[in-house]
């Protein structure tokens, strides 16, 4: 057996094994749901299941031109949806689309502090980030200054007593935004947090374990979103794969919601 293992190790970089390794990586990305299409990656499933609890407040952090907000409004008829989009041109496009009176557009971004900062705008209005993303094949087209707000301050200003779903798609600033909601997380007024995790986290240096440690400290259970269900699981270093795309954290007191999300 040892001889056989050594033989394979010595010959692991021939063309056959190179092709086999590439196939294995592709299969793993497919199995681990590397998919940013809301309709098939499980985000729509989450919205439909959230709808069963008759939510009143949904926050769409990183609304862009409003596609997710419109989808949330479609399946959550009694919800108020706060759509945060800090880039003015993209914000204006979202407002011009209109589509649902339940959606309240906010021309700010969510962050750990109330501040103005420069943001990188990449190859389309659908891709902008506070971070200079490394390892991609394109660079930013332009920069602009945006206004950022702490989530806790927004909650106080708008007198929000409870948030049913906080969705964060912030091109790397998800952890920063969570820090801005720490008081709300501590009080347990946020029932569920959906956040992106992927290759951008290599640039931000915020690992999946950082999200686990922050959210578990405030009594949340975490899981990865798959097309038909959420797989709740303890942190293991093998999940630090930067494949993404979405994880969800639910307050442990929301037992029925946790069961619903885990059901296939």
Tokens of 201: 């986290």
More confident residue, 239 or 11: 239
User: Which residues is 196 bridged to in the sheet?
Assistant: 246
Return the number of other C-beta atoms located less than 10 Å from residue 159's C-beta.
6
pLDDT in tens, 60-95: 999 999 999 999 999 988 899 999 999 999 999 999
- Whether 124 shows a pLDDT value over 70: the answer reads no
For residues 61 and 46, give the distance between their C-alpha atoms in angstroms, rounded to a whole number: 16
pLDDT of residue 68: 95
| Residue extents of the structural domains in the chain | 1-31, 37-262
- The mean-pLDDT minimum among 115-124, 170-179, 210-219 falls in 115-124
With both helix axes pointing from N to C terminus, report the angle between 43-51 and 67-75 in degrees, rounded to the nearest 10. Answer: 30
Which residues have C-beta within 8 Å of that of residue 210, sequence separation ≥ 6? Answer: 175
State residue 125's pLDDT score.
54
**Interacting residues of 90 by C-beta distance below 8 A, sequence separation 6+:** 64, 65, 125, 126, 128
Range of weakest confidence among 2-16, 97-111, 122-136, 223-237: 2-16
pLDDT above 70 coverage of the chain, percent: 98
Of 188, 230, 237, nearest in space to 212 by CA: 237
Nearest to 196 by CA among 232, 215, 170: 170
What CA–CA distance (Å, rounded) separates 189 from 162?
5
On average, the pLDDT of the chain sits at: 92
Q: Please give the average per-residue pLDDT across 227-241, as a whole number.
A: 96
Homologous superfamily (CATH) of 37-262 is Vaccinia Virus protein VP39 (3.40.50.150)
Kindly write down the DSSP assignment for every residue of the chain, as one continuous string.
-HHHHHHHHHTTTSHHHHHHHHHHHHHHHHHTT----TTTSSHHHHHHHHHTT--SEEEEET-TTSHHHHHHHHH-TT-EEEEE--SHHHHHHHHHH---TTEEEESSEEESSSEEEEEEE-SSTT-EESS---S-S---SEEEEEEEEEHHHHHHHTT---BSEEEE--TT-HHHHHHHTHHHHHHT-B-EEEEE-STHHHHHT--HHHHHHHHHHTTEEEEEE-SS-EEE----GGG--S---EEEEEETT-HHHHHHHH--
């Amino acid at each position: 057996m040892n001889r056989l293992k050594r033989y394979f190790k010595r010959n692991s970089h021939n063309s056959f094994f190179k092709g086999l390794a590439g196939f294995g990586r592709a299969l793993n990305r497919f199995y681990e749901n590397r998919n940013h299409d809301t309709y098939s990656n499980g985000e729509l499933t989450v919205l439909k299941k959230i709808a069963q609890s008759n939510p009143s407040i949904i926050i769409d952090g990183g609304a862009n031109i409003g596609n997710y907000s419109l989808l949330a409004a479609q399946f959550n008829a009694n919800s108020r949806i706060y759509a945060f989009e800090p880039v003015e041109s993209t914000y204006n496009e979202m407002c011009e689309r209109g589509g649902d009176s339940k959606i309240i557009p906010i021309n700010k971004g969510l962050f750990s502090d109330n501040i103005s900062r420069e943001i990188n705008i990449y190859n389309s209005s659908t891709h902008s980030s506070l971070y200079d993303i490394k390892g991609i094949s394109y660079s930013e087209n332009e920069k602009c200054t945006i206004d950022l707000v702490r989530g806790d301050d927004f909650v106080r200003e708008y007198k929000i007593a409870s948030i049913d779903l906080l969705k964060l798609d912030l091109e790397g600033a998800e952890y920063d935004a969570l820090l801005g909601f720490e008081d709300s997380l501590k009080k347990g007024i946020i029932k569920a947090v959906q956040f992106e995790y992927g290759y951008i986290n290599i640039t931000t240096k915020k690992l999946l374990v950082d999200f686990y440690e922050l959210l578990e400290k405030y009594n949340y259970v975490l899981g990865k979103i798959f097309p038909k269900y959420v797989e709740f699981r303890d942190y293991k270093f093998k999940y630090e794969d930067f494949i993404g795309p979405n994880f969800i954290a639910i307050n442990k007191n929301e037992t029925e919601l946790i069961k619903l999300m885990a059901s296939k």
